[in-house]
Amino acid sequence: MKLLADKAIDDLFGGISPPAAMNVGGADPVQGVGKLIGFGIQMFIMIAGLFLLIYLLWGAFDWIVSNGEKERITKAQSKITNALIGMLLIFVVLTIFNLLAGNILKIVEPNGSGGFNLKLPTL
């Protein structure tokens, strides 16, 4: 009886749907937030990798133009070392994230474009 009343109310007043601006990930706004968070993580990793590559090349350039000065070579070596440690950290964090979120918690699902979406828990 309640279902019939709900249908009659929907027919009379219309159904409730999220606004078009919130409809990022399809009909479900929670799915859209998961896609947005997944996109943010992907962009952070790409930007961090780009900065690390630039820092690595900067260290290599400093080494080339050091003219054999011991102090400038040491600074260039520290830049290269820091860039490589940063790259290693990004790969380790990404691997741990994929292990925990993908295999253990099952909250990450791959999308068709090579990235991933987060499945946020709902009630």
**Mean pLDDT per 10-residue segment, the chain (123 residues):** 67 68 58 80 90 96 95 96 94 87 81 75 71
Reduced to 3 states, what is the DSSP secondary structure of residue 1? coil
Q: How far apart are CA 119 and CA 74, in angstroms?
A: 47
Residue 95 CA: distances (Å) to CA of 23, 36, 98? 31, 20, 5
Reduced to 3 states, what is the DSSP secondary structure of residue 92? helix
* pLDDT digits 0-9 by tens, 67-100: 999 999 999 999 999 999 999 999 998 889 888 8
pTM passes above 0.85: no
Give pairs for 69-74: CB < 8 Å, separation 24+: none
pLDDT of residue 98: 82
pLDDT of residue 106: 82
Reduced to 3 states, what is the DSSP secondary structure of residue 123? coil
